[in-house]
Structure 1
């Protein structure tokens, strides 16, 4: 552990001095540095760097400028380093990285993973900009505007998951990503929800490793978090329909406050304040504030 920390400190020192303009070549070290700096990782495949990679970027006067090669321009590199930790990943890593996501991701995610475009990842290697339409010329300024996210808000959950992947670390990271989704650029919110859902699906796969008597309640809680996702995507009517399908006898006691939060927020979102009021007394002050944030997003 001490050696790893010393290695990371050395990398940080190098990044801040002579090697500041160079992209990193080791994904794990880049992820470690992103952890320290509370940044996302900007990743490309090594083969992409073997040819001219033109991009466009806005200068400090708002003018759009063509950059002939992203990987050689001395002005763009510091800009990228300011907002991300950039890394070039060897093609030899492809098989190992693909194996981790095979049969666990959507086809559009796999397509993004495979292509030559820029990938914005969290420190666990999950891609955020899956839906970002890749123009003929990628706009670096737009990437920064949308995906330069300070991850300090979810830093603890990211670290907990990285250190020990289990139901709780995956679930709480998924939940925290949804909280983060309330504060990011609105154009990125759906991407954040999809990233959260990656961890939610993983949490579901971990359920069978927990005590058998708790598995039903944990799986139900995962399904409820899925409805929380729908609230961020402005689908409150769907949330209400799904909640009404729950039978009282099937509801786990520990999940009742979560259900109250979902009902309250969904009813308020469709301007049914009387129905929402029935649930308000069962909601904590923290979740009332969270509900208000969601309502503000949906207006």
Structure 2
């Protein structure tokens, strides 16, 4: 882990002395800075011959109000004529295109075409969230892309979506689901495609509906697809939490009380109850 942290410290020192207007040009370095500073990556795909790109530089990115918001991100400019592989990876067919990425390079937001100052500010304000909650998970995943590490990131993004505004909640839920797909691919690659399938199912269906506020569908999904006597010990607390929270939100006091008593027996009950109150 020390081999990972030391380059971060060097890059942090460099970044702290840089201004918001000083774009990075290395995707790999931007990823490391993003992890070290608990920020998302703001990517501008551009080219020297692109008129709208130059207009964004002069009218949008150079604006002091925009730059103040940019300080909440790791700014990265990618010249599509230089970074052809990266441009291909993100299917860049027209420019300018602006992305907000997590430190692993997964897409949080993608916009196409020129944006004036006002639109850029609206976008940046929406996604001005730190990702300290996921820092250790990012580090673990950077060190080893495994199904277990991808699943931990997915779980954290589900939790993360509880705390963001409704306007962007679905974007982070989509990102969480994307990491669940990555988890399944990695488990398959690792030779155990059914690993943690029950927990993945609880997140994919019941927890997603719970976060969205569809409490009746949460209960229905649990009733239909997850029988209590089939729940594995490691998922028991989370299962009880889902039922308790859904019934509590539905103001079904009798059922909420039943599942609260079950939830209290779990070793992580305090954290789960706090999370329940947040939803």
TM range (shorter): 0.7 to 0.9
Task: For 2:170 and 2:245, locate their aligned partners in 1 and report how far apart those are by CA, in whole Å.
Answer: 19
Task: For 1:3 and 1:174, locate their aligned partners in 2 and report how far apart those are by CA, in whole Å.
Answer: 25
Secondary structure at the aligned position of 1:89 is classed as strand
RMSD: 3.3
TM-score normalised by structure 2 residue count: 0.81
Aligned to 1:27: 27
Alignment of 1:155-166 (within 5 A): 155-166=135-146
Mark the runs of 5 or more structure 2 residues left unpaired by the alignment: 264-268
TM-score normalised by structure 1 residue count: 0.76
Closer/same/farther in 2, CA of residues 123 and 114 from structure 1, 3 Å limit: farther
Please state if 1:231 is matched with 2:231: no
Task: For 2:4 and 2:143, locate their aligned partners in 1 and report how far apart those are by CA, in whole Å.
Answer: 14
Closer/same/farther in 2, CA of residues 276 and 17 from structure 1, 3 Å limit: closer
Task: For 1:75 and 1:263, locate their aligned partners in 2 and report how far apart those are by CA, in whole Å.
Answer: 48
Alignment of 1:257-268 (within 5 A): 257-268=237-248
Asked whether the 8 Å contact 1:48–1:116 carries over to 2, the reply is: no
CA deviation after TM superposition for structure 1 residue 255, in Å: 2.2
Closer/same/farther in 2, CA of residues 122 and 2 from structure 1, 3 Å limit: same
Task: For 2:189 and 2:135, locate their aligned partners in 1 and report how far apart those are by CA, in whole Å.
Answer: 25
Closer/same/farther in 2, CA of residues 90 and 5 from structure 1, 3 Å limit: farther
Please state if 1:90 is matched with 2:75: no
Closer/same/farther in 2, CA of residues 31 and 49 from structure 1, 3 Å limit: farther
Aligned to 1:203: 183
Residue of structure 2 aligned with 1:221, choices 193, 196, 199: 199
Secondary structure at the aligned position of 1:44 is classed as strand
Closer/same/farther in 2, CA of residues 193 and 10 from structure 1, 3 Å limit: same
Closer/same/farther in 2, CA of residues 253 and 14 from structure 1, 3 Å limit: closer
Asked whether the 8 Å contact 1:34–1:85 carries over to 2, the reply is: yes
Closer/same/farther in 2, CA of residues 274 and 40 from structure 1, 3 Å limit: same
Aligned to 1:60: none
Alignment of 1:5-44 (within 5 A): 8-17=8-17, 21-44=21-44
Task: For 1:76 and 1:237, locate their aligned partners in 2 and report how far apart those are by CA, in whole Å.
Answer: 44
CA deviation after TM superposition for structure 1 residue 96, in Å: 5.0
Residue of structure 2 aligned with 1:171, choices 148, 151, 161: 151
Aligned to 1:106: none
Mark the runs of 5 or more structure 1 residues left unpaired by the alignment: 56-66, 102-109, 295-299
Aligned to 1:288: 273
Asked whether the 8 Å contact 2:60–2:115 carries over to 1, the reply is: no
Please state if 1:69 is matched with 2:47: no
Task: For 1:52 and 1:115, locate their aligned partners in 2 and report how far apart those are by CA, in whole Å.
Answer: 8
Closer/same/farther in 2, CA of residues 288 and 80 from structure 1, 3 Å limit: closer
Secondary structure at the aligned position of 2:109 is classed as coil
Please state if 1:125 is matched with 2:125: no
Task: For 1:96 and 1:68, locate their aligned partners in 2 and report how far apart those are by CA, in whole Å.
Answer: 25
Task: For 1:43 and 1:49, locate their aligned partners in 2 and report how far apart those are by CA, in whole Å.
Answer: 18
CA deviation after TM superposition for structure 1 residue 180, in Å: 1.8
CA deviation after TM superposition for structure 1 residue 205, in Å: 2.1
Closer/same/farther in 2, CA of residues 274 and 22 from structure 1, 3 Å limit: same
Residue of structure 2 aligned with 1:254, choices 234, 239, 246: 234
CA deviation after TM superposition for structure 1 residue 143, in Å: 2.2
Alignment deviations for residues 197-251 of structure 1 (CA, whole Å, 9 cap, x no partner):
1111211223346685xx6561111010122122111122221111111345543
Q: Kindly tell me the number of residue pairs found equivalent between the two proteins.
A: 269
